[in-house]
């Protein structure tokens, strides 16, 4: 009698779409675990953001309309992200839009961030993500500072982790118990870096280097968020309406929301340093006057107002 397999995957992982959904969900879950491990809570995260941005100098000349435009888009998209569907089936269907809304909230905020970094406007997805990623990699806050870099080499594994522990062990992507969150983030970014090399190489008309020598630049969690948006918007919708257990469906949505909101928080603090706390508070008040239901934004701004940035 043949031996049965030790591991029998649950029904929701019986398809390729189901496996991908659970993999992406667990990557995001590990990101959120890392946030809580590092900062305990959102207030602790804000405190460290304020501390780490003290050296930033305000801009002498700034296009505030540019900041206003993109932050209103970021806040409104984040608000739409938090319109929760209570029914599990509706939430499952809504998860097809959750990566899109999360990405566009973060992308809009990154447009504002990339402008205040050096005074030049990105005005496009690739450049905004690249500038924001380089800023985050060098600013020191985890997990935004973590990335992969370098060409793939002939063995497609020469790319290297950046800002990860030296003794990093990268687990298998299907591990779901006792997994190191930082190791799973590395697993996610290593795979995303390979995808970016493949995607960008295929689009390049003038290829001055061989594919294994091509370096797409830093790959961060911002790029992973972009990939989820592309897959849910264009390529593999079935992944995000997976027939997974209700707990997994909610976990996927909640993790995306948390990472989105904490990323926007990080950028809000930087903007307060670069174009004054008063301006961002006034801008948020103007937005909240027409959308007072944006409870998460209202709570953040109330906390900033009570908190010293000195």
263 band by pLDDT with thresholds 50, 70 and 90? very high
Distances (CA, A) of 143 to 15, 108, 148, 256: 30, 20, 12, 14
The answer to whether residue 181 is domain-embedded is yes
The answer to whether residue 1 is domain-embedded is no
The rounded distance, in Å, linking the Cα atoms of 228 and 218 is 18
Q: What is the average pLDDT value for the chain, to the nearest integer?
A: 91
The answer to whether residue 2 is domain-embedded is no
The answer to whether residue 58 is domain-embedded is no
The answer to whether residue 5 is domain-embedded is no
The rounded distance, in Å, linking the Cα atoms of 285 and 292 is 9
Helix ranges, the chain (H): 16-39, 42-52, 64-81, 88-94, 98-118, 125-139, 181-203, 221-230, 246-275, 277-290, 295-306
84 band by pLDDT with thresholds 50, 70 and 90? confident
Question: pLDDT at position 14, please?
Answer: 64
The answer to whether residue 278 is domain-embedded is yes
- The pLDDT tens digits for 146-196 are 999 999 999 999 999 999 999 888 988 888 888 899 999 999 999 999 999
The rounded distance, in Å, linking the Cα atoms of 115 and 119 is 5
The answer to whether residue 39 is domain-embedded is yes
- The pLDDT tens digits for 91-100 are 888 899 999 9
The rounded distance, in Å, linking the Cα atoms of 82 and 87 is 14
Question: pLDDT at position 8, please?
Answer: 41
- The pLDDT tens digits for 26-38 are 999 999 999 999 9
Give just the sign of the alpha carbon dihedral 120, 265, 35, 30.
negative
Strand partners, 207: none
Q: Which domain holds residue 224?
A: 11-53+63-306
Give just the sign of the alpha carbon dihedral 72, 74, 76, 79.
negative
Say what the pTM is.
0.93
Cis peptide bond prior to 243, omega within 30° of 0: no
The answer to whether residue 6 is domain-embedded is no
Left, alpha or beta for 150 (phi > 0: left; psi -120 to 50: alpha)?
A: left
Domain count for the chain, please give it. Answer: 1
């Amino acid at each position: 009698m043949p031996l049965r397999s030790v591991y029998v995957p649950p029904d929701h992982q019986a398809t390729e779409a189901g496996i991908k959904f659970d993999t992406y969900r667990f990557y995001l879950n590990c990101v959120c675990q890392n946030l809580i491990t590092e900062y305990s809570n959102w207030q602790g995260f804000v405190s460290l953001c304020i501390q780490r941005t003290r050296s930033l100098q305000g801009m002498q000349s700034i296009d505030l309309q540019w900041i206003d435009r993109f932050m209103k888009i970021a806040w409104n998209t984040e608000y739409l992200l938090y319109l929760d569907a209570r029914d599990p089936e509706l939430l499952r269907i809504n998860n097809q839009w959750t990566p899109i809304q999360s990405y566009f909230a973060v992308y809009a905020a990154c447009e504002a961030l990339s402008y205040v970094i050096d005074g030049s406007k990105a005005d496009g997805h690739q450049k905004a993500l690249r500038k924001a990623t380089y800023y985050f990699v060098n600013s020191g806050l985890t997990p935004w500072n973590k990335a992969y870099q370098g060409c793939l080499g002939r063995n497609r594994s020469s790319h290297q982790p950046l800002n990860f522990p030296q003794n990093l062990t990268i687990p298998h992507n299907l591990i779901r118990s006792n997994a190191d969150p930082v190791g799973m983030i590395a697993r996610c970014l290593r795979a995303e870096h390979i995808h970016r090399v493949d995607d960008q190489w295929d689009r390049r008309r003038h290829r001055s280097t061989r594919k294994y020598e091509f370096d797409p630049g830093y790959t961060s969690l911002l790029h992973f968020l972009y990939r989820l948006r592309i897959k849910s918007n264009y390529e593999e919708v079935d992944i995000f309406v997976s027939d997974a257990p209700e707990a997994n469906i909610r976990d996927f949505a909640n993790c995306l929301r948390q990472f989105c909101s904490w990323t926007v928080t990080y950028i809000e603090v930087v903007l307060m340093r670069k174009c004054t706390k008063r301006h961002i508070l006034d801008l948020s008040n103007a937005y909240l006057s027409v959308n007072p239901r944006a409870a998460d934004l209202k709570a953040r701004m109330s906390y900033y107002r009570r908190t010293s940035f000195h």
